[in-house]
Structures are given as C-alpha cells and as structure tokens.
Structure 1
Amino acid sequence: MYRKDKSIQMKSSASALYNNLSVLPITNKSLTYFTVVHGNTVNMVSASADGLNFSHRQLQSKEESVALSSSLITQASWCNLPSRVLLVLTSQKGIQMYESDGSIMVYWHALDALETPQAQAVFARGIAPAGGQYICVGTSSGLVLVFDIPAKGTNITLAEVLAEHRDPITDIACETCGGKDMAADLVTADDAGVLCVWKSGEDFKLVTKISAYGVTCSSVKLWDGMIAAAYGTGQIRVYDAGTGEVTAELDAHARWIYTLDIAPESGKLLSGAEDSFVQIWQLSRCAESGTIDVEHRHSECVTDTQICGARFCDPQGSSFAVTGYDLSEIIRYVQV
C-alpha cells in the first residue's frame, strides 16, 4: 500500500504528452530531480529527501542557442549511462542533450523537415540509453537515431539509423534488469502499435518484430527479458522479448494509458492513464519453467486528473510520483 506524500509545486502545468515525467534520484546528495514538459519549456525541480527544500530551473526549446517559442517540446528524459548522465529533450525542431542538471547543452541535432511530406508533423519522441554508450531517439518519420556518447565532452556522433518502423515513434525502452546479458536489450514502439525488439552493439540487430495490435502503443518498458507495452485501449500486454510471444494481457485501465514505469530492483510495474488511476503490478519469472507471472498490487485514484506521467522515485519502487494534464504539481506517494 502507498499513501500520499508532500506534493511538489511547479512553475507551470504539465502538457498532455505521453510519459510526461522523468525522475533521477541522486542518492549521494539525498536529492531527486524531476522534469515535466509544458509547451516549449521543461520544468526541472530538485527536491530534498525530506521533501521540504526545492529548487527550480526552466529549460526552453532551442536551436543553436536561440529560443524558439513555436517549437513545442515532446519529451524530456534522463539517460543514465555508465560513464555519465545526460538530460535529453526532443521537440518539433530537433534533439538537445544537456548535462544532468540542465546547466550546459552538450549537443544539438536538427531534424530535417525537408525529408518529410508537407502535411505531416515533424518531431522527435522516444528516448532511451542502450548498450552502455548509446542514446536512442525516435522521430515522427519512424526512424530511430542512435547516438554514440563519449565518456565526457561534446564529441557526440550519429552512429546508426534504425529504419524498421513506418509510423511515428511513441516510446523507446532499454533493458533495466542489470547484470544480465539478454538476447534483446532495446524495444521501440510506434503509433500503429508495432514493436521492434533489438540487440544493441556496434551494429544494432533486429531480434523480433511484434505486429500492430490495432491501436497505438503509447508506452513501453523492458525488464528481465519481458516487454510491458501499454495501449490506447487501456490494456497492457506483456511479451517475451526473445520470441515476441504474448504471455499476459491486462485490462488495466478504462481509458488511454499514457505512461508505464518499472522498478528495476523489484520488477514492480506502474501504469497511469486518462481514467485518473495509477495501477501497480508485480512482474516475476519462474526460475524453473521461465513462465511470466503478473500480480496486481495497488490501485490509486488521483481524483479529476488526466494522468500523463508516472514514475517510481527509487529502484525498489517504494515511492512514485504522478503528473496530470494542466496540473501544476507533482503528486508523490510513499509505501507504508
């Protein structure tokens, strides 16, 4: 069970975007960083462990250091690589990468609007680290850009472009069960509901392709060889990453799911949707048979809130935070 904790006030409200919350625990400083997108601005908040002290920073969408009021940000997410942590922003104009505290921009990649049909929107969306040294970012044309990230400095390069999708990328996830060498460690999802499962490396290899489910896959997570995928129907499907087979189907929500998260050390799965509910599930895999089990653990109603972001605040999943459309606060919950 979880109880409501002290909320964090923001400078502006949350936009109705998929996965519109990112959380970075800084354990050695007893701080937690949060980011929430509003229009062309990212609200960054650092909060102390006791929840009493906050500091705010706002990042704006930029193109070569010039603020663009018309360039809407589509996502902000921290990418935790072994050598460094970067804050990655995607927008209608391109991709920005910052040092983890948002103080210094280290890289800018412009999207080429000329390659896109005039009637189609241009944007980037879907952010995840991969393979220890890469960051993958999706685009509205269905491409996944793979950036090679050095241990320090700004010499970031576009190493590869993955071109399996035909529809805009919605979300990208990397394997979060540390210490295991999986057959697949990256999954990409698109607006049609297609999932592509990859093995990262110098050459990214397609492991399997999971056919469209007839509705958008809005959010996806990967843990211990299991893929959890959320859909506009309010359902969550759990797949085996190696084979692409469905192992569980959950009627999780009454409306469109906007966000998923997994606590890497416990296998807890969190889902948040337009129906104002956050659900928490326990994923597990039988050591002998390899079968996957899913058990419902907790349900939380965030009254009159269209949930657009929800994240665990620690690796065990003992606390989580929620954002909602047009809500100017981050609501926090802790385990009791």
Structure 2
Amino acid sequence: SVSPQATWCELPSRVLLVLTSQRGVQMYDADGSTMVFWHALDVPELPAAHSVFARGIAAAGGRFICVGTSFGAVLVFDIPPKGTNVTLSEVLEQHRDPITDIAAEQGQAPDGAGDMVTADDSGTLCLWSSGEEFTLLGKIPGSGCTCSSVALWNGIVAAGYGNGQIRLWEAASGRIRAQVSAHARWIYALDLAPLTGKLLSGAEDSFVHVWKLSRNPDTDDIEVQHCHAECVTDTQVCGARFCDPAGDTFAVTGYDLSEILCYGPA
C-alpha cells in the first residue's frame, strides 16, 4: 500500500496542511484543527490490479497547490486567501506513469527555467511554469529507473533515484550537469535548504548525507560537494527534512521507527 503523505504548503496568504492517501486529497488549516477541503480521486478506467492514490504535493505560483496521482495526472488547486472555496483549476496530463514527487522553486529561478518540477515512476521529469495556466517548458525522459524525490533550487533540479543516484539537471535546458552515486540503495527523501543550497538525502541503506550545491561563477557549472554523513543504525530511512532554512539541523525517520531523530551542530 502507499503511505499517506503530509506537507505544509506555504502560500503568501496562508499555510495549509495537505494530506494525500489512497482516498484522495485533504487540506486543513495549519494546526490541523479545521478541514478546509476534501477531494476524492476520480478513477479513470484502470485494470483492477492498479491502485489509485495521490502522491507528491507542492505549493506553486503563489496561490496554487499541486498534487500528483497514480494515473500520472497532476491536479492544480486554486487556493483562496481565506475560506474554503478551493477549486480544481487545471489537470496537467504529461506523465504516463504514477507521479512520485513534485517540487517548487525554492530560490530564484533563472530566465526560462520555470518554477516547478514533477517526477514519475519511470524517471521522467517535467518542468513547468506556473500561472493562470501552467505551461510545460520541457521534459527530461526517464531511463527506466524510478525518480523517487525531486528538489528545485536556483534553476537546478536535484533528483534522487531508486538506484541510489542523485542527478543534477539544468532546469532551463534539461541538460544533465552532475551525477553522484550517493547511496547503495533506494533514495526515499531529498530536501533543500533554500538559504545555502544544502541538499539532504536519505535512503534505504540507512545513511543520510548532506551535500552543498553551488554554481561556479566563472563557468556557470553546477558543483556538488559532500558535507556530512550520518548512519541511522539498522534503519531504512524513509523521511528526511531540514529543520531550518540554512540546513544546519535536520530530522530523520525510518520504516518501523516510531520516533523522529533530530541532528544538529554539536
């Protein structure tokens, strides 16, 4: 079964707690006390073996929350500044495989780079520009290996894969700029610290790594540097997040773990 997801979506006017599951999409006030919106998944005609679920959540374009589905569609919800009048404003249909993750730009997007990336089970990435209508700017074909997690920072797409690799792409051109054999097993989580460009990766191999992304001012090359490694003994890491915008502290959890482990400077 597919694990439910929970994400705080920060829009300029409000913060919503968004939950996805096999039943659909739920949106709550930030403290979880009041349900603002509920969207049941419309099931296309699929063979019985296919499960239906929502997965991948991101706030984009100042007033939208985007949610991925198992049938490859990305649902775009228009969020009012207050109240419950949430509407499904658009459905983006460029993926043919289940959506795995969605990320919005966390830094400053260069010209032509777009401000959102979507990923699917085949490893295909789609780059979007948000607005009244979302525009597809480019598509990076998958190589058959699942892209399980994506992040977007200053026009750099960081993608984590089922084979343990992290690949860095140029959002504007779709060109691959770096590839790192980061983990021995499936990467389950990537997160980005917007102030510093630190990248956090957590995987089934029980390791959590911190990397630093940067652009060389002379060549404009994307550079990646390893900063820190942490082994969470006997734990398949399935969740990892920075706890501050500079990426000095991070939290980790794993399968069959009933606690969240927090790491920071000594």
TM value normalised by structure 1: 0.77
Q: Tell me, what secondary structure is at the counterpart of 1:113? A: coil
Change (3 A) 1:183 1:213: same
- In structure 1, the residue matched to 2:66 is 136
Q: Which amino acid aligns with 2:238?
A: C
- In structure 2, the residue matched to 1:74 is 4
Contact 2:66 2:74 in 1 (8 A): yes
1:197, distance to aligned residue in structure 2 (A): 0.6
Change (3 A) 1:240 1:158: same
- In structure 1, the residue matched to 2:47 is 117
Change (3 A) 1:226 1:173: same
Q: Which amino acid aligns with 2:167?
A: R
Structure 1 position 173 matched with structure 2 position 103: yes
Structure 1 position 308 matched with structure 2 position 228: no
Larger Rg: 1
**1:12-59 deviation per Cα after TM superposition (whole angstroms, max 9, x unaligned):** xxxxxxxxxxxxxxxxxxxxxxxxxxx9xxxxxxxxxxxxxxxxxxxx
Q: Tell me, what secondary structure is at the counterpart of 1:119? A: coil
1:160-309 alignment, distance < 5 Å: 160-178=90-108, 183-309=113-239
Percentage of matched positions with identical amino acids: 65
Gaps of 5+ in 2: none
- In structure 2, the residue matched to 1:21 is none
- In structure 1, the residue matched to 2:258 is 328
1:52-71 alignment, distance < 5 Å: none
Q: Tell me, what secondary structure is at the counterpart of 1:238? A: strand
Q: Distance in 1 between matches of 2:99 and 2:232?
A: 28
Q: Distance in 2 between matches of 1:296 and 1:114?
A: 44
Q: Distance in 2 between matches of 1:285 and 1:104?
A: 43
Q: Moved runs in structure 1, 4+ residues, more than 4 A?
A: 178-182
Q: Distance in 2 between matches of 1:275 and 1:88?
A: 29
**1:169-192 deviation per Cα after TM superposition (whole angstroms, max 9, x unaligned):** 000000001587763100000011
Q: Tell me, what secondary structure is at the counterpart of 2:4? A: strand
1:73-92 alignment, distance < 5 Å: 73-92=3-22
Q: Distance in 2 between matches of 1:293 and 1:125?
A: 30
Gaps of 5+ in 1: 1-38, 40-71
Structure 1 position 319 matched with structure 2 position 249: yes
Q: Distance in 2 between matches of 1:319 and 1:101?
A: 23
1:217, distance to aligned residue in structure 2 (A): 0.4
Q: Which amino acid aligns with 1:119?
A: A
Contact 2:28 2:37 in 1 (8 A): yes
Q: Of residues 34, 37, 42 in structure 2, which corresponds to 1:104?
A: 34
Contact 1:73 1:89 in 2 (8 A): no
**1:267-317 deviation per Cα after TM superposition (whole angstroms, max 9, x unaligned):** 000000000000110000123432111001101101001000000000000
Contact 2:109 2:155 in 1 (8 A): no
RMSD over aligned Cα atoms: 1.4
1:203, distance to aligned residue in structure 2 (A): 1.1
Contact 2:109 2:115 in 1 (8 A): no
TM value normalised by structure 2: 0.97
Q: Which amino acid aligns with 1:211?
A: P
Q: Distance in 2 between matches of 1:114 and 1:212?
A: 24
Contact 1:141 1:168 in 2 (8 A): yes
- In structure 2, the residue matched to 1:151 is 81
- In structure 1, the residue matched to 2:57 is 127
Contact 2:212 2:226 in 1 (8 A): yes
> Larger relative contact order (C-alpha < 8 A, sep ≥ 6)?
1
Q: Which amino acid aligns with 1:213?
A: S
Q: Tell me, what secondary structure is at the counterpart of 2:114? A: coil
